[in-house]
Structure 1
């Protein structure tokens, strides 16, 4: 999730655990602890692919954060013991602020290595990386609680309950969309290799669906407010790797994306895109993996990430589609290029 959300979550968790000891310093400490795991973004692993797939690695691992919280608690107790704070309560606050960060990240689509160094990415993919409906209750509770200091911890606890209920709703909404997707694919006769479902930006009403199917993939949108249960899809080419040997970075990207990648030729460059993150015609993670020489032969290069352009298309149609407007096929209307090869209804 974004840094503001993680800081708000850390502060709220700290406030709830501190109880009567809660004050501005406790909230600030919780906010700092809540953002600490994301400091790994400043580590350069040598290339853009490694920087992408290794983010949310060791700093987000429960196997690292829990021992680290014990170490940090012991250091504080030795250097500057806190009055009225037992070792166990201080450790609980530090550990909770640290581990709720990767646990929340796990609800997004990016992929979090919760058990690093054990290989594997975890992703529930039920919340967009920025979701105001999750963040606002945390911020409101902190603001109201600071104004009414006597009930600060209570407001923090209430906010955590509300935000947790929202996460539970997101999982229920995704399950509903997943059931509709499976039924629609069966009706259309599409034999999916793999299905990826994720919320569209800033909400949990409208969901984007990506279905791998041989040399092509299908994209669709489904709102929980739809009256028509059938999901519409457009088919697009997945492309392929033109060289005989796949570089280590490409294999790492495939593992990170669980195979949800697309290959495109753009201006004599081979671009590999992560199909999971972004919107139609505007994927967030795109990398140049190879270039054509004068003879037209592909030559692999050290992958570099392309800058993400501005989100194109009429975003008001996205809002209308989220409200269940079946007259708008946002899969087509929001794609600014002629990407659709054929449609299935």
Structure 2
């Protein structure tokens, strides 16, 4: 999730655990602890692929954060003892603020290495990386609580309950959309072995479905407010790796994306794109793996990420589609209508 949300979550968790001991300093400490795991973004692993797949690694691991919280709580107690704070409560506050960060990240689509150094990316993919409906209750509770300081901890508890209910709703909405997606794919005769479902930006009403089907993939949109259960899909070329050997960094990206990648030649560049993050025509993670030299031959390069260009298509239709308007093209106007399989 974004840094504002993680800071708000950390502060709210700290306030709830502190109880009557809650004050501005406790909230500030919680906010700092809540954002601490994301400091790994400042680590340079040598290339853009490694920086991408190793983010949310050791700093998000429960196997690291739990012992680290014990050490940190012990240092605080030794260097600056807090009156009326037992070590157990202090440790609980530190551990909860740290651990809720990767647990919340697990609800997004990116992938979190909760058990690093044990390999594996965990992703429930039920909430967008920025979702105001999750964040606002936390911010409102902190704002009201700072005014009515006597009830600060109570407001923090209420906000955490509301935000947790919203996360539960996101999981239920995804299950509903998944059931519709599988039924629609079955009716179309499309294999449903590799299906990825994720919410579209800033909401949990409209969901994006991506299905890998050999050298192509299918993409569709479904709103929980749709009147009809059927989901329309558009087909796009997925391509394939054109060389005999796959570099190690490509294998790392394939593992990170669970195979949801696309290969395409664009001008003089060979691109590999993460199909999970973004929307059709506006995918966020595109990497250059090879470039043509002066002789027209492909030459491998150290993979680097392309800067995200101007957003394509009429995204103002996103709201209408989220409210269940199935007359809108399933690609939100991001390709000509009717959408055809790309050449």
Q: Is contact 1:6–1:34 with CA below 8 Å preserved after alignment? A: yes
Partners of 2:260 and 2:332 in 1: CA distance: 20
Q: Are positions 1:240 and 2:252 aligned together? A: no
Aligned to 1:270: 270
What is the CA deviation profile of residues 256-276 of structure 1, one whole-angstrom value per residue up to 9, with x for unaligned ones? Answer: 000000011111100100000
Aligned to 2:307: 307
TM-score (norm 2): 0.98
TM-score (norm 1): 0.97
Which runs of no fewer than 5 residues in structure 2 stay unpaired?
Answer: none
Map 1:5-16 onto structure 2 (within 5 A): 5-16=5-16
Partners of 1:226 and 1:11 in 2: CA distance: 37
Aligned to 1:72: 72
Q: Are positions 1:148 and 2:129 aligned together? A: no
Map 1:13-162 onto structure 2 (within 5 A): 13-162=13-162
Aligned in 2, Cα 1:229/1:339: closer, same or farther, shift over 3 Å?
closer
Partners of 2:116 and 2:337 in 1: CA distance: 39
Pairwise CA RMSD: 1.3
Which runs of no fewer than 5 residues in structure 1 stay unpaired?
Answer: none
Partners of 1:51 and 1:81 in 2: CA distance: 38
Aligned to 2:173: 173
Deviation at 1:99, TM superposition (A): 0.2
Deviation at 1:291, TM superposition (A): 1.1
Aligned to 2:324: 324
Flag as ranges the 4+ runs of structure 1 deviating above 4 A: 336-339
Deviation at 1:319, TM superposition (A): 0.7
SS of the equivalent of 1:315 reads coil
SS of the equivalent of 1:190 reads coil
Q: Are positions 1:291 and 2:291 aligned together? A: yes
Deviation at 1:253, TM superposition (A): 0.1
Q: Is contact 1:281–1:337 with CA below 8 Å preserved after alignment? A: no
Q: Is contact 2:221–2:330 with CA below 8 Å preserved after alignment? A: yes
Partners of 1:314 and 1:266 in 2: CA distance: 23
Q: Is contact 1:234–1:332 with CA below 8 Å preserved after alignment? A: no
SS of the equivalent of 2:316 reads helix
Deviation at 1:337, TM superposition (A): 11
Partners of 2:25 and 2:246 in 1: CA distance: 51
Q: Is contact 1:113–1:119 with CA below 8 Å preserved after alignment? A: yes
Aligned to 1:217: 217
Partners of 2:70 and 2:339 in 1: CA distance: 52
What is the CA deviation profile of residues 115-144 of structure 1, one whole-angstrom value per residue up to 9, with x for unaligned ones? Answer: 000000000000000000000000000000
Aligned in 2, Cα 1:219/1:314: closer, same or farther, shift over 3 Å?
same
Deviation at 1:292, TM superposition (A): 1.7
Partners of 2:223 and 2:339 in 1: CA distance: 22
Aligned residues: 342
Partners of 2:333 and 2:121 in 1: CA distance: 33
Partners of 1:270 and 1:129 in 2: CA distance: 28
Deviation at 1:331, TM superposition (A): 1.3
Deviation at 1:332, TM superposition (A): 5.3
Partners of 2:214 and 2:295 in 1: CA distance: 30
SS of the equivalent of 1:219 reads strand
What is the CA deviation profile of residues 290-318 of structure 1, one whole-angstrom value per residue up to 9, with x for unaligned ones? Answer: 11223332221100000012322112211
Q: Is contact 2:8–2:138 with CA below 8 Å preserved after alignment? A: yes
Deviation at 1:104, TM superposition (A): 0.2
Moved more, 225-234 or 189-198: 189-198
Deviation at 1:339, TM superposition (A): 7.2
